[in-house]
């Protein structure tokens, strides 16, 4: 399964709440600090977690409130909640959502002594303990973790840390979609276990057969995800690879390949402006591979070379300028998807790039045919219309056509210029379209770029032609013309 990078919550939850997310009313997490101790065990009931979560929140619900809603894994019970040093009253019960009855959680409601004004902020601390119960009955088949000594994971989807949301799909969707906060965690684990997620290990303290990790987010993050296992690690200046003991061969090769790929991309685009280390973490099969800025968590079964395109995709993202729009179109997903093929071509002489372009075209055509409502949507508006999934394919066709027309060298030069110009400032939609207007010298190619990015003829074009070659012809483009 391909899960989209930058999409903060699992696809299942997003899909579930997609149609109902109307208002962006939620409690915004400003920052958090968690102190967590884990006891891991082979049997689900024997695992145990003890935690305190301090949260600073802003009320963005649009009105004053006397209560704050919290959702936790059904295996976890709250013992105390405080504001300052004062205890707050609360209720908790295990219940399903009214509009998602199979998602049974510990549903908590905190009573505030004085109302929290709209836009007001509050600091609260929740003390809770228990175990983690799998949530497979909810339909999220991959959320099957418990506090196992083989593997476990702290993540939003299992509600192992407090999620501030009413027990309904639309609140949960907003709460999951809109967060961007900095976080710290003190995490105590049995010796030999490594927290291999999107919080950086700042300090490690050895206790008696236990280890205390001081973890910190690298700037603001949309969610916290921490796979935990007796990982082995490979490190170099560009990537940390966390793998399971029996994977040493595939892991070593993958790690070397990530190094080679970064060298290639540096050769193409210059060293990236912000040097960030990529973390790649293996998870057992069936727990949901996921990609996000700086982190790939991936089924250990897919560490094999035939899946290196996932690695190429994530590494390519390191160079992409940030889209400075509240609802980004994610044209860079299309670019990263196309670059998967271009990088594969570099490392594998037998790789058929022409075939990849054709395949992207056919998949884009098919996907858009299934979404006739969005046939006229230009790439730049994908974010506003919540169809960024489409950017992976139509965006990739967009860049494939530029590549086919310009040829390798001029295509790379164009991307290098684009990425370096906006590396520090980020990029607006207007910047992108202006850049292409200025830099594409061929009039017909310029027209194509404008039609697809700004004018929305994508659906029409994909309906009118039946192959990538025909699409080239439609815009009077021949391969590698000048
Ligand atoms: Zn991506």
pLDDT tens, position by position, 265-303: 999 998 877 667 789 999 999 998 887 778 889 888 778
Centre of ligand 1 to C-alpha 336, Å, is 6
Distance 237 CA to ligand 1 centre (A): 22
Closest CA to 156 of 182, 137, 176: 176
| CA 126 – CA 313 distance, rounded (Å) | 39
Tens digits of residue pLDDT in 147-190: 999 999 999 999 999 999 999 998 998 888 788 899 999 999 99
173 Cα–ligand 1 center, Å: 21
Please give the distance, rounded to the nearest whole angstrom, from the Cα atom of residue 278 to the centre of ligand 1.
14
- Cα(392) to centroid(ligand 1), Å: 8
Residue 351 corresponds to which tokens in the numbers above? 């790789």
**Whether 291 contacts 281, CB under 8 Å:** no
Give me the pLDDT at residue 435, please. Answer: 98
CA of 317 from ligand 1 middle (Å) equals: 7
Nearest to 2 by CA among 396, 382, 447: 396
- What residues pair up with 34 in beta bridges, in sequence order? 53, 185
- Tokens linked to 149: 């000594």
Residue 13 · residue 157 · CB < 8 Å? yes
What does DSSP say about strands 86-87 and 76-83: parallel, antiparallel, or unpaired? antiparallel
- Can you tell me whether residue 24 is helix, strand or coil? coil
Residues in the chain, pLDDT under 50: 1-22, 482
Say which residues have a Cβ less than 8 Å from residue 349's Cβ, sequence separation at least 6: none
Distance 143 CA to ligand 1 centre (A): 22
pLDDT at 275: 64
Which domains, ranges and CATH numbers included, belong to the chain?
A: 23-229 (2.60.40.1730), 231-319 (3.30.2010.30), 321-482 (1.10.390.10)
> What is the residue whose two structure tokens read 């017909």?
444
Packing angle, helices 408-421 and 429-439, rounded to 10: 140
| Angle of CA points 162, 127, 92, to nearest 5° | 65
Residues at Cβ < 5 Å from ligand 1 ion: 5, 333, 336
Give the three-state DSSP class for 50: strand
Q: Say if strands 199-206 and 65-72 run parallel, antiparallel, or are unpaired.
A: unpaired
Predicted confidence at residue 274, as pLDDT, reads 67
For the entire predicted model, the pTM comes to: 0.78
6 CA distance to ligand 1 middle (Å): 7
- Taking the centre of ligand 1 as the mean of its atom positions, its distance from the CA of residue 418, in whole angstroms, is 18
């Amino acid at each position: 399964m391909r899960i989209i990078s930058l999409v903060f919550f699992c696809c299942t939850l997003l899909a579930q709440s997609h149609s109902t997310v109307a208002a962006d009313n939620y409690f915004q997490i400003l920052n958090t600090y968690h102190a967590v101790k884990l006891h891991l065990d082979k049997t689900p009931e024997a695992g145990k977690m003890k935690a305190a979560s301090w949260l600073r929140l802003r009320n963005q619900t649009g009105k004053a409130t006397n209560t704050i809603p919290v959702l936790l894994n059904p295996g976890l019970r709250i013992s105390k909640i405080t504001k300052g040093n004062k205890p707050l009253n609360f209720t908790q019960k295990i219940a399903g959502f009214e509009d998602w009855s199979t998602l049974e959680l510990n549903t908590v409601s905190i009573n505030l002594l004085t109302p929290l004004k709209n836009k007001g902020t509050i600091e609260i601390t929740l003390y809770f303990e228990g175990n983690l119960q799998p949530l497979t009955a909810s339909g999220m088949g991959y959320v099957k973790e418990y506090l196992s000594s083989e593997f476990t994971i702290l993540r939003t989807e299992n509600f192992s840390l407090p999620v501030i949301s009413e027990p309904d799909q639309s609140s949960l969707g907003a709460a999951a979609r809109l967060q961007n906060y900095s976080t710290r965690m003190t995490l105590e684990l049995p010796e030999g276990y490594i927290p291999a997620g999107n919080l950086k290990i700042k300090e490690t303290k050895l206790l008696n057969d236990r280890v205390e990790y001081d973890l910190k987010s690298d700037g603001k993050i949309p969610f916290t995800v921490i796979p935990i296992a007796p990982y082995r690690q490979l490190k170099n200046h560009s990537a940390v690879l966390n793998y399971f003991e029996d994977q040493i061969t595939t892991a070593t090769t993958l790690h070397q390949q990530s190094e080679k790929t970064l060298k290639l991309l540096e050769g193409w685009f210059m060293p990236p402006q912000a040097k960030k280390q990529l973390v790649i973490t293996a998870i057992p099969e069936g727990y949901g591979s996921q990609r996000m800025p700086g982190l790939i968590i991936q089924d250990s079964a897919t560490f094999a070379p035939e899946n290196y395109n996932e690695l190429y995709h994530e590494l390519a993202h390191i160079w992409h300028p940030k889209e400075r729009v509240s609802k980004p179109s994610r044209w860079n997903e299309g670019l990263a998807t196309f670059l998967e093929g271009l990088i594969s071509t570099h490392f594998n002489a037998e790789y058929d790039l022409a075939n990849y372009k054709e395949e992207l075209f056919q998949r884009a055509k098919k996907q858009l045919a299934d979404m006739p409502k969005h046939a006229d949507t230009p790439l730049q508006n994908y974010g506003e219309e919540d169809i960024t999934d489409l950017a992976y394919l139509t965006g990739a066709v967009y860049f494939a056509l530029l590549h086919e027309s310009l040829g390798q060298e001029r295509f790379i030069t164009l991307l290098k210029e684009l990425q370096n110009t906006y590396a520090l400032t980020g990029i607006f939609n207007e910047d992108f379209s202006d850049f292409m207007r200025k830099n594409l010298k061929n009039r017909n190619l310029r027209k194509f770029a404008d039609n697809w990015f700004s004018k929305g003829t994508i659906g029409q074009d994909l309906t009118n032609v039946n192959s990538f070659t025909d699409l080239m012809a439609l815009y009077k483009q021949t391969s590698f013309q000048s």
